[in-house]
Amino acid sequence: MTTITRRLALAILNGFDAFFAEYKNITLGAQARFEAADWQAAQKAMRDRLDLWKQKRKIVAEAVTTITAGGVYDRDNWEVAKAEYSELIQHHPNFEIAQSFFNSIYCYIFEHEKVRELHAFVSAPQGYKPEGSERIIHVYNFRGDGRDVVKEMLDNCHFNIPWEDQERDIGYIMELVERELLPKLDTKNHRARAETLESLFFRNKAAYLVGRIVCGDTSLPFVLPIQNSGQGSVYVDTLLYDPDDISIVFSFARSYFMVDASIPSEYVAFLHKLMPHKEIFELYNTMGMPKHGKTEFFRFAVDDTLNSDAPYIIAPGIKGMVMLVFTRPDFDYVYKVIKDRFTPPKEMSQEHVKACYSLVKRWDRGGRMADTQEFNNLAFDRRRFSEELMAELKKEAPSKIEESGNALVLKHVYIERKMIPLNLYLKQCDDDQLYSVMDEYGNAIKQLASNNIFPGDMLLKNFGVTRHGRVVFYDYDEICPLVDCNFRSLPEPQNDEQAMSTQPWYEVNPEDVFPEEFRLFFSGNQRAKKVFDELHSDLYDPEWWQDLQDKISKGFVPDLFPYRRKQRFQQR
């Protein structure tokens, strides 16, 4: 131990504690914003909280550079500082997130180069997994017909505005409980109880009460979405009890929750009991801890790769003009590398593409845009890469790769959930699936637009189909705020020469969009076009887009339900 290394470790821990305190303060305001129906403030708070990690990282990195008189650039100091930091956080309630913060400072100082276990917390602590705690759980033992239990659960939400009609909502809930949940429980031999997390989950314009019913060896998860009526009261919108429905609430295509959790790992442990199919990193992400989620994902990916013999190959589907995409056949994620040169007619810069991906990270994704993880200098085993993939990397992105023996380093890469490209899905679906997925495709475009997002390139290949049948957008290089677009009707040709021209004979500015041309996205698939025209032909009308722009400019924030409208107790 030296004075330099001790100060380095202490300064980083102080920086993490300062970050987490400010993170908590932003989160604590979620309920007040919900009760006031201040949706603009809610969106701003989400962006502010996402920016917080990078802001604190920069401040701490500059501070430790001064505190150590430049000693931060000596990796030997980091080896000692890591050991001292380990001692300092040994009993820290959020030690695993504190480790990620340490890693972040190290990577910032050394620009993500030579990240080794010797100097940073690359591997997970041996045998570690998030542990639950009884202190974050409210327990309700069932009595009578259960109505009193439901009332107590709702009262314990402690809203500062009244319920619109609590007795009505309890009636709706009990109808579903008696019909769908109680028949699955052995109440004759075991006493049932409900368990809910003490803090609500806030996102967009809703609050969610998350819990489960336990009876003997049976555990049934449930979620109660709570809405603000807009009239100074709240109401329960529905009861979600199907595991798939609950999984969609916590989907990778949705924005992060705001949850008053002093120890996020305790909440992650409880959520993992409800959704054991979700990985730990996914749950940290959904809790609003994407930077630590990135650490957990890296560890997950390393373990998954070591337990697989499958090669890395070019991802199925039409090759992108901007991104080179690859994966492993047995891996649920794809790697996306920005090409050095874009295929015409794409003309944007690489910095523009990065800015688009950053915008998506900070936007309310509304269940229609896939979350991404961004990595620099990510190392792979070169021997696992197919020759076709290596040839493609060397051809399309030579500046992004670096080879050293069996190591292949990708200097910049995005990682995203794997989905079936919509154009491929359409080739294998039946008529019912076609109708459903075309409705989903149109709804995805409309919901993105209502959230002030214009996808730009709406080709079928740029949308994916999830295991739940939802359509999600995943190609962001032309994305922009909807209000920045100029939606126009196609001018009528004035003569035969104009009518026969293969090129626009009228002036077109970069921000101009002609919705009538959207029909071209279905070229080659008239079967899909026919269904889309039946369901969403309004998207071809410039006035539809202009009206929505006007609403957004006046402060409109959409209702983004992570469940089908037919599941709502009241069709409002």
pLDDT digits (tens, 9 = 90+) for 479-493: 999 999 999 998 887
* Confidence at residue 432, expressed as pLDDT on a 0 to 100 scale: 95
Distance CA 261, CA 210 (A): 13
Compute the residue count for the chain.
572
* Confidence at residue 127, expressed as pLDDT on a 0 to 100 scale: 63
**Average pLDDT value for residue range 190-207:** 95
* Confidence at residue 368, expressed as pLDDT on a 0 to 100 scale: 95
Q: Which of 11-15, 98-102, 110-114, 294-298 has the lowest mean pLDDT?
A: 110-114
* Confidence at residue 101, expressed as pLDDT on a 0 to 100 scale: 98
Residue 349: pLDDT over 90: yes
Distance CA 78, CA 64 (A): 12
Residue 452: pLDDT over 70: yes
- Cα of 520 vs its chain's centroid, Å: 30
Distance CA 26, CA 46 (A): 8
* Confidence at residue 145, expressed as pLDDT on a 0 to 100 scale: 81
Could you tell me the CA-to-CA distances from 540 to 445, 514, 534 in Å, in that order?
12, 8, 12
Residue 382: HSE in the Cβ half-sphere, 13 Å Cα cutoff: 13
* Confidence at residue 521, expressed as pLDDT on a 0 to 100 scale: 80
> Of 290, 296, 281, which is closest to residue 255 (Cα–Cα)?
290
**Residue 559 is which amino acid?**
D
**Average pLDDT value for residue range 138-154:** 92
- Asked if residues 125 and 131 have their Cβ atoms less than 8 Å apart, the reply is no
Q: In terms of C-beta density within 10 A (0-12 exposed, 13-18 middle, 19 or more buried), how is residue 564 classed?
A: exposed
**Average pLDDT value for residue range 195-202:** 97
How confident is residue 563, by pLDDT bands cut at 50, 70 and 90? very high
Question: Kind and range of the H or E element at 528?
Answer: helix 526-536
**Average pLDDT value for residue range 94-103:** 96
Residue 76: pLDDT over 60: yes
- Asked if residues 147 and 154 have their Cβ atoms less than 8 Å apart, the reply is no
**Average pLDDT value for residue range 148-169:** 97
E strands, 181-290, where?
Answer: 193-197, 201-203, 206-215, 218-228, 234-236, 258-259
**Average pLDDT value for residue range 254-266:** 96
**Average pLDDT value for residue range 511-523:** 87
Q: What is the mean pLDDT of the chain?
A: 93
**Residue 54 is which amino acid?**
K
Q: Which two tokens stand for residue 232?
A: 């100074």
Q: Which of 371, 432, 457, 496 is labelled catalytic?
A: 371
**pLDDT tens per residue across span 374-403:** 999 999 999 999 999 999 999 999 999 999
Pairing relation of β-strands 512-513 and 486-487? parallel
* Confidence at residue 520, expressed as pLDDT on a 0 to 100 scale: 82
* Confidence at residue 492, expressed as pLDDT on a 0 to 100 scale: 83
**How many CB atoms lie under 10 A from the CB of residue 446?**
17
b/e burial code for range 517-527 (CB count within 10 A of at least 16 → b): ebeebbeebee
Q: Which two tokens stand for residue 236?
A: 């329960």
Q: Which of 227-231, 300-304, 456-460 has the lowest mean pLDDT?
A: 456-460
- Asked if residues 224 and 209 have their Cβ atoms less than 8 Å apart, the reply is yes
Q: Which of 111-115, 296-300, 535-539, 560-564 has the lowest mean pLDDT?
A: 111-115
Residue 571: pLDDT over 70: no
Q: In terms of C-beta density within 10 A (0-12 exposed, 13-18 middle, 19 or more buried), how is residue 288 classed?
A: buried
Active site residue 169: no
Residue 344: pLDDT over 90: no
Distance CA 345, CA 97 (A): 43
* Confidence at residue 506, expressed as pLDDT on a 0 to 100 scale: 79
Farthest-apart Cα atoms in the chain, separation = 84
Residue 459: pLDDT over 70: yes
Q: Could you give the angle at which helices 95-109 and 290-306 cross, rounded to 10 degrees?
A: 90
Contacts of residue 280, defined as CB under 8 A and 6 or more positions apart, other chains included, come to: 129, 130, 268, 272, 296, 300
For residue 218, give the DSSP letter: E
**How many CB atoms lie under 10 A from the CB of residue 435?**
16
Residue 37: pLDDT over 80: yes
How confident is residue 2, by pLDDT bands cut at 50, 70 and 90? confident
Pairing relation of β-strands 313-314 and 333-338? unpaired
* pTM for the whole structure: 0.94
